[in-house]
Amino acid sequence: MRPRVSFLLLALSLFALGAVLSLPRPGKEEAVRPVRAGALPEMGVVVAARDIDYCGYHTPCGPGSRTDTIFYLRLKGQEAKGVAIPRDLYSPVVGGKVNAAYGRGGAELLKRAVAEATGMVAERHLILTLESVARVVDAVGGVEVYLERPMRYTDRAAKLFIDFPAGRLHLNGEEAVKYMRFRHDALGDYARLDRIKEVVVQVLRKAQDPRTWPALVLALREAWAELDTDLSLEEVLGYLPALRGLKVSLATLPTREGPGTFLYVDEEARARFLAAFFGASPPAAPPEAPVVLRGEGALLRWGQALLEKEGVRPVLEEAEVAKSAVYTQDPLAGLYYAELFHLPLLAPHRPLAGVLVELGKDLLQ
């Protein structure tokens, strides 16, 4: 299984890298030199992306009032842990679906709705537009994805045309946004959130490389005016270098189906999952969970040797991998193997038995 992609880390890139915009414009010979202020501060940030409003056929009016992509991101030290909130989740404080919160009460109501859903404090907010996301993806050189089957969808009224072949693909910013908006498969919105997580991780990892910063600064100078945020550029400037070596974990809030098209928070599952996801430390010994190791050639053999040193005998799958990561719905097992391989942890919604470790050629870069 290949869980798919998240505006979350795109958002994190904007959050930290946007601080550079507060610097005086450098001269031609002067480089941007952020000042390191230490690890990231502890805070809960609601990161969301606004949809597009249309005035008529093929006539976009600009960013809409719905936020179909919503994440709760917890920053602390050298860790960023995020939980995706499904757009169809019923929110009592909103009196409807959580994706309507921003349109009804702005960022403050959205923060209240996210805090209600997660049971965690949401201090700050960062609301993106699709155009700003595309600019950031282009600034880091695009992203790579792997499709097991073609991805096709046409909405002529919205002028949205998605037509990607199966296989390994390199996507630019506009294409990546289409990839993240697609929800017309068996798992619908849940699969869309998985795709967003995948893209976000790639953008964040590329943003850790100082060589990408000049292009990102130029992109963000254009994009920052489109954002709705209570994070000042000066406030986050000193934490740009903290992106380097950042440990990233992304999951989806446990929910259950309800009447009509609503989803509801699964209270018992939420308490159990979030306590382990946000509060636990990596186990000292390998958890008892089956492990599948996927990759090619020397990378697969290296991963196998590393696991066998830990007393783990994985199931090996020789296959092409677009980007390396650890996938599991078991938070403790995920923490252990993400720490062992120094890889991002992604918890997909699609059922996944045990742990899947994917090793791609990006590890050699």
Which CATH code for domain 7-279?
3.40.630.190
Residue 342 per-residue DSSP state: T
**3-state SS, residue 120:** coil
Q: Helix 297-309 vs helix 331-341: angle between axes, to the nearest 10 degrees?
A: 120
For each of the chain's 365 residues, which pLDDT tens digit applies?
A: 444 334 444 554 545 444 433 444 444 334 444 444 556 778 999 999 998 776 666 666 667 788 989 999 999 888 899 999 999 999 999 999 999 999 999 999 999 999 999 999 999 999 999 999 999 999 999 999 999 899 999 888 777 899 999 999 999 999 999 999 888 776 677 888 889 999 998 998 888 888 888 888 788 778 777 889 998 766 655 666 777 888 889 999 999 988 888 999 999 999 998 899 998 888 999 999 999 999 999 999 999 999 999 999 999 999 989 889 999 989 999 999 999 999 999 988 777 889 999 999 888 87
Q: Where are the domains of the chain?
A: 7-279, 291-364
Question: Residue 32's closest CA among 242, 237, 223, 207?
Answer: 237
Residue 312's identity, in one-letter code, is: V
Q: Cα angle vertex 354, ends 312, 350, to 5°?
A: 155
Residue 260 and residue 263: Cα distance in Å, rounded? 9
Whole-number pLDDT of residue 19: 42
Residue 196 and residue 346: Cα distance in Å, rounded? 11
Residue 111 per-residue DSSP state: H
Q: Which listed CATH number (1.10.20, 1.25.40, 3.30.70, 3.40.1710) goes with 291-364?
A: 3.30.70
**3-state SS, residue 5:** coil
Greatest C-alpha distance within the chain: 62
Residue 325 and residue 358: Cα distance in Å, rounded? 5
Kind of pairing between the strands at 228-229 and 255-257: unpaired
Read off the tokens for 41.
Answer: 């501060």
Residue 43 and residue 361: Cα distance in Å, rounded? 34
**3-state SS, residue 225:** helix
Under 8 Å between Cβ of 91 and 117 = yes
Residue 236 and residue 19: Cα distance in Å, rounded? 5
Under 8 Å between Cβ of 19 and 234 = yes
The pTM for the full model equals: 0.80
Other residues' Cβ atoms within 10 Å of the Cβ of residue 166: 11
Domains 7-279 and 291-364 share a fold: no
Residue 15 and residue 9: Cα distance in Å, rounded? 9
